[in-house]
Amino acid sequence: MKIAPSVLTADFSNLKHELQSIETADYLHLDIMDGHFVPNISFGPAIAKTISQSTHLPLDIHLMVTDPIRWVQPFAQSNPVFMTIHVESSDVEKTLKLIHEHKIKAGISLKPKTEIEAIIPYLDQVGLVLVMTVEPGFGGQGFMDSMLVKVERLVQIRKQKNLDFQIEVDGGINLETIKRCKESGVDIAVAGSYLFNMSDRKKGIESLK
């Protein structure tokens, strides 16, 4: 299991130390929120670029925004490995194409209430599928076990169609829920509050792995 700590729950007043404390992770997950697609606002391209210059971890950028095509180029400056957009956002096809043009692996995500059928047309265009296991936009929520049905379906589709996207989950990850994720076929788990509330985050990352 690969672990991607969500920097959203880090202490931004001591960001360098926070990033060092999770350096044994596999990716660094950046939640970008516009105050429209989700109620909260997080941070913009300048902060993302600063973060990218302060860590060796490959970035996993999650655009929780209504109009993602506007934000691909600015966030591409951070050189992420993945840039994920929501199927519920606008211009999905065009945005995925633009992400590819920037030599970034595109990802597609869906909210808990969105059926898996919504993303099936895009699965051959992405390197990552992000299944939200909480409602996006807020930290500290409880894990929604029912979302693992989507994960299991994605595993089946990936095998049937001979696709190679990775499956990621985000929300409510801890030592118990990650076991169920692994059993369902998850490849990458985003962990926020659980890790950043720990004093020894490297030990926490190792336990999750």
Which residue bears the tokens 């202490």?
11
Catalytic residue flag (residue 170): yes
Tokens 């807020």 map to which residue? 138
CB 165 within 8 A of CB 123: yes
Please say whether the beta carbons of 166 and 81 come within 8 A: no
Burial of 130 (0-12, 13-18, 19+ CB in 10 A): buried
Residue 208's SS3 state is helix
Annotated catalytic residue, options 26, 34, 60, 170: 170
Question: For 61-147, where are the alpha helices, taking DSSP H only?
Answer: 72-76, 92-101
Which residues is 129 bridged to in the sheet?
A: 108, 167
From 26, 31, 91, 164, active-site residue: 31
Active-site annotation, residues: 31, 170
